[in-house]
Structure 1
Amino acid sequence: MWCLELLLPLLLIINDASCQWNVWVPRDISAMTNSCVVIPCTFMYPSAVRPYRGIHGIWYFDQPNIDVPEEIVSDEDLELTCYAPDNCPDMTPEIQWMYTDYLPDPEFSSDYLEESNTAVLSSTLTFTPRPMHNGQLLGCRVYYPNTTLVYERVISLDVKYAPRSVWVNVSSEVMEGSSVVLHCEVDSNPPPRISWMFGDQELLWDTASNVTLSLDDVTPVQEGVYTCIGDNGYGLMNTSLYLAVKYPPREPVVNDSVTVQEGTSLALHCSTQGSPAPTLTWLKDGELVGTITADELSVLEILEITPQGDGQYRCLAENEHGRASSSLNITVEYAPVLLEESKCTVVREGVQCVCMATGNPEPTIEFYLPDLNVTINETDGRFNFYTHTDGHTSTGMIKLREKGERVDNGPAVNVHCSIYNMYGRESVHLELQQEKKYMMAVIVGTIGGVAVIAFIIAAVRYVGHNNKKENGNPRQDVVLENPALYYSAVKKDKQNLRKKVGEDGDYQPVGSMAGLERQELNYAALEFIGTRSREGASGRGDDGSNYTEIKAK
């Protein structure tokens, strides 16, 4: 009786017709663990064999057998031994290894072991397995020469190896808000623990040969390096990819609006984010200033800023996906500067003085009359004072109602303009401007007045001469007392002035005085003094004509 602990197949059938040897055993037997089983065996032998010489039946279990280590590790030397029983004196077995052609430099050795009534023949195969050998078949064949008895045992190599390759997607670009799938596949035995890492953060893991990571509604913060790590206890390997998230520029961050004094140096910073990196452009009041920078930071340096540097500065960020901008204001404060429009001119009431200055803060304007030791900053009984501000420009104006002494055909003026703010003060003397249009008006007025008076005088002389002839009584020359004042006004427009003096032969009549007052036009006045009966003042010319002295103020 045999006691079995396992269910074992029994395949021992020997049939040699030529020698009349026959052995019969059941093809298979089923038995319960830890129970007993009887395995029958029937055999026949040739009649020529005498029983007295001895007939022996020998049982073999699992023939042949390959001794395989519990663990086969890549790149470590491996020994596999095939065993076969050798208990038949007349039938010595031989051992061969199968499927060894793919092995790197295999080595073979044989051994024979005999203990008590059992003899065992062994063959040992030595080689160094590689990951490529995992799953390969390897076999041991035992055969008996001059017989048909052949027994084989085949195994599949289970070669353990660390991850030897980790495959992931190539680096890719995606638009903000889209989705992306990242794949990772690891070649190792046993299957590894695969982890998807983003920086130091583990996003996903699984024990498998491949793992997929899905990212939805991608944002710029998810741009960066993604790493797949495979670890199976025999080693680890990782591979990374870069995920680029494209998006339009964000609103740039710029300096706060600032107020500075003239001569100050500034550095304006503009920073933004965008992918690809945006170009940054500085604009002042819509005009390009500085250089265009292809980066996420731009610095505009302004050295010793001038009043012209006052205005709005805008940083424009652009890339292929969009644009954004931010702006700031720079206010430049500076001492007052007198403008060339500042002057005194003759007007109908007397003299008008205008003082214009630019500055920040807006300058305060005062007039000073040194002859009278009077400072004018408001209207009083003798002076009309007017001020106006427009942006950084201040305008002050006074009208001197008392004409004073006349010099060189015009009023004598001595007016000083004082301009000041917190950064400085300046006082200048305003010159009386004898403009060409004013002189032309005087000439036109004089010529017109002389022509009219000459006509009146000629008429009076003619009437007096006739009366003298009729009455026979001599008369004195007529004396004109307080003759009327004649005004000739011209507009400030030079083209109209040329038309009025007849440059193109088209003289335009003078409008009403009310209209002239509203337009604040320049004027010229002629005052004609009456004739006097004194020598040299009136008389008769060489041609016998009478004449009267005419003076023009």
Structure 2
Amino acid sequence: MVPDNCPELRPELSWLGHEGLGEPAVLGRLREDEGTWVQVSLLHFVPTREANGHRLGCQASFPNTTLQFEGYASLDVKYPPVIVEMNSSVEAIEGSHVSLLCGADSNPPPLLTWMRDGTVLREAVAESLLLELEEVTPAEDGVYACLAENAYGQDNRTVGLSVMYAPWKPTVNGTMVAVEGEMVSTLCSTQSNPDPILTIFKEKQILATVIYESELQLELPAVSPEDDGEYWCVAENQYGQRATAFNLSVEFAPVLLLESHCAAARDTVQCLCVVKSNPEPSVAFELPSRNVTVNESEREFVYSERSGLVLTSILTLRGQAQAPPRVICTARNLYGAKSLELPFQGAHRLMWAKIGPVGAVVAFAILIAIVCYITQTRRKKNVTESPSFSAGDSPPVLFSSDFRISGAPEKYESERRLGSERRLLGLRGEPPELDLSYSHSDLGKRPTKDSYTLTEELAEYAEIRVK
């Protein structure tokens, strides 16, 4: 607005800094105000949030002069908030530090509020607001919202926080006790981020598994005693592994195992009754020939020991090794009863138990003597039949101390007497040389050829030497 009272010097009006206001419209007019004329210039435009704080000026100049006047004003554009800065989806490992930022543009400044599940976590009148989370936990996983508002309106945005963590210890729900033949269903569940690999196994054998699921169902259509035992449910992902053990108890009627038997030791008979059952059975030993039944309550005769599902009961009978009785074992629980006549094992042990240690030594000595006799008999037979002692086609040579050589009885007799005298008297001189043809008989035995040949095994024979 510029006074205009001098017709020869009328002002010219213009606007400065309106270029960023879109397409403004300028209107001019004269207005009389209390006897004074005023020239008015009107600038019309639609304000935007970007124009807030814009500096706008008006200029008045007079033609043919150097006179020029300017005036300025800053635009104050009011507008509702707009959130212009915020985190995208955030992933964080359990225990780490997380910062969430929310920034808004508005005039006047907005009230910023951080919320989660309808709960206000932090708020302030500011252009931006930071939410700090120290050592995040899985409980802080979720969606966070930022709300910005003023008198002219409001705006809001959300951000997801994903807390990564190892699986929690799995929980197991389902049948823990079942009767043989029943169906068993067991559910194993856990929680983790990301979802885990779930596995159920028994004795290192995998029974069921699922990938990236938080639940796993194990179904056994008809359980048997072999299904009884300890099972493990294992959950794992890249951040860790957790496991839970659970037991399935299968109840069934008694089963008598093949290890059940009786055996003798010295003057005692021991009978083992080995039973597999669940629940634990009562065991009784029956001796039908004596009309006697012995159970576990008689500790003097029966000893019982349980290992898992197997119960071993031992019946001890003293002084029964000579004639062991028949023994029947009966096992019973609420699902049924089984009986078995216990076989007697180790008949040879029973024989040794009867003859005793002294009898065993005597029997062993007799056995050795029989073996030696048979061995010597066979050796003598082999020596007698040896070819080195056969005469071949000629008749055997018979030796007699009265044998005389035909045609020279005197010479032989003389030589015989001379040899006898030398042996008896021990003469040192040489006998006179006799011109005789004779035979000399050596009655000595052949020397043994080795140290293993017995003297009795040498054959007696005569060796004829011709000189």
Q: Amino acid of the residue matched to residue 424 of structure 1? A: G
Q: CA deviation at 1:359?
A: 0.8
| CA-to-aligned-CA distance 1:258-311 (integer Å, 9 cap, x gap) | 444333433434444444444443343555442155344444334433222222
Q: CA deviation at 1:423?
A: 1.5
| Equivalent position of 1:139 in the other structure | 57
Q: Distance in 1 between matches of 2:143 and 2:327?
A: 78
1:389 aligns with 2:389: no
- Partner-residue secondary structure (3-state), 2:226: helix
| Equivalent position of 1:181 in the other structure | 99
1:102 aligns with 2:14: no
Contact 1:176 1:220 in 2 (8 A): yes
1:428 aligns with 2:340: yes
Contact 2:169 2:190 in 1 (8 A): yes
Contact 1:256 1:328 in 2 (8 A): no
Q: 1:401 to 1:101 in 2, by over 3 A?
A: same
Q: 1:416 to 1:142 in 2, by over 3 A?
A: same
Identity of aligned residues (%): 38
Higher helix fraction (1 or 2): 2
- Partner-residue secondary structure (3-state), 1:195: strand
Q: Amino acid of the residue matched to residue 295 of structure 2? A: N
Contact 2:209 2:216 in 1 (8 A): no
| CA-to-aligned-CA distance 1:115-151 (integer Å, 9 cap, x gap) | 6733333333222222112222323323333333333
Q: CA deviation at 1:354?
A: 3.9
Q: 1:352 to 1:181 in 2, by over 3 A?
A: closer
5 Å matches for 1:380-529?
A: 385-391=301-307, 392=309, 393-397=311-315, 401=320, 415-430=327-342
Paired residue for 1:165, among 83, 88, 113? 83
Q: 1:387 to 1:350 in 2, by over 3 A?
A: closer
Q: 1:94 to 1:331 in 2, by over 3 A?
A: same
| CA-to-aligned-CA distance 1:479-514 (integer Å, 9 cap, x gap) | xxxxxxxxxxxxxxxxxxxxxxxxxxxxxxxxxxxx
Contact 1:351 1:403 in 2 (8 A): no
Q: Distance in 1 between matches of 2:242 and 2:122?
A: 37
| CA-to-aligned-CA distance 1:465-488 (integer Å, 9 cap, x gap) | xxxxxxxxxxxxxxxxxxxxxxxx
Q: 1:452 to 1:158 in 2, by over 3 A?
A: closer
Q: CA deviation at 1:159?
A: 1.3
Contact 2:55 2:73 in 1 (8 A): yes
Contact 2:296 2:304 in 1 (8 A): no
Q: Distance in 2 between matches of 1:151 and 1:216?
A: 60
Contact 2:265 2:350 in 1 (8 A): no
Q: Single out whichever of 140-149 and 328-337 deviates more from structure 2.
A: 140-149
Q: Distance in 2 between matches of 1:342 and 1:414?
A: 13
Paired residue for 1:191, among 103, 109, 122? 109
Across the two proteins, how many residue pairs are aligned to each other? 364
Q: CA deviation at 1:233?
A: 1.4
Q: Amino acid of the residue matched to residue 304 of structure 2? A: H
| CA-to-aligned-CA distance 1:425-457 (integer Å, 9 cap, x gap) | 122344566989999xxxxx9x98996897999
Contact 1:167 1:239 in 2 (8 A): no
Q: Distance in 1 between matches of 2:95 and 2:295?
A: 67
Q: CA deviation at 1:252?
A: 3.5
Contact 1:195 1:229 in 2 (8 A): yes
With a CA cutoff of 8 Å and minimum separation of 6, indicate the structure with the bigger relative contact order. Answer: 2
Q: 1:449 to 1:422 in 2, by over 3 A?
A: farther
5 Å matches for 1:102-121?
A: 102-114=20-32, 117-121=35-39
Contact 1:250 1:324 in 2 (8 A): yes
Q: Distance in 2 between matches of 1:354 and 1:164?
A: 89
Q: 1:90 to 1:454 in 2, by over 3 A?
A: closer
- Partner-residue secondary structure (3-state), 1:102: helix
Q: CA deviation at 1:100?
A: 2.8
Q: Amino acid of the residue matched to residue 263 of structure 1? A: G
Give RMSD over aligned pairs. 4.2
Q: Distance in 2 between matches of 1:100 and 1:453?
A: 141
Q: Distance in 1 between matches of 2:155 and 2:371?
A: 122
Q: 1:417 to 1:449 in 2, by over 3 A?
A: farther
| Equivalent position of 1:93 in the other structure | 11
Paired residue for 1:220, among 121, 138, 142? 138
1:325 aligns with 2:217: no
Q: 1:435 to 1:120 in 2, by over 3 A?
A: farther
Q: CA deviation at 1:337?
A: 0.7
Q: Distance in 1 between matches of 2:373 and 2:91?
A: 103
Contact 2:268 2:316 in 1 (8 A): no
Contact 2:257 2:275 in 1 (8 A): yes
Q: 1:116 to 1:375 in 2, by over 3 A?
A: closer
- Partner-residue secondary structure (3-state), 1:132: helix
Contact 2:262 2:269 in 1 (8 A): yes
Q: Distance in 1 between matches of 2:371 and 2:13?
A: 160
Instruction: Report the TM-score, using the length of structure 2 for normalisation.
Output: 0.64
Structure 1: where are the runs of 5+ without partners? Answer: 1-64, 66-83, 405-410, 440-444, 459-553
Q: CA deviation at 1:375?
A: 3.3
1:129 aligns with 2:47: yes
1:261 aligns with 2:173: no
1:156 aligns with 2:74: yes
Q: Distance in 2 between matches of 1:192 and 1:457?
A: 125
1:307 aligns with 2:307: no
Structure 2: where are the runs of 5+ without partners? Answer: 352-359, 375-467
Contact 1:362 1:394 in 2 (8 A): no
Q: Amino acid of the residue matched to residue 364 of structure 1? A: S
Q: CA deviation at 1:104?
A: 2.3
- Partner-residue secondary structure (3-state), 1:135: coil
| Equivalent position of 2:128 in the other structure | 210
Q: Amino acid of the residue matched to residue 339 of structure 1? A: L
Contact 1:87 1:118 in 2 (8 A): yes
Q: 1:93 to 1:372 in 2, by over 3 A?
A: same
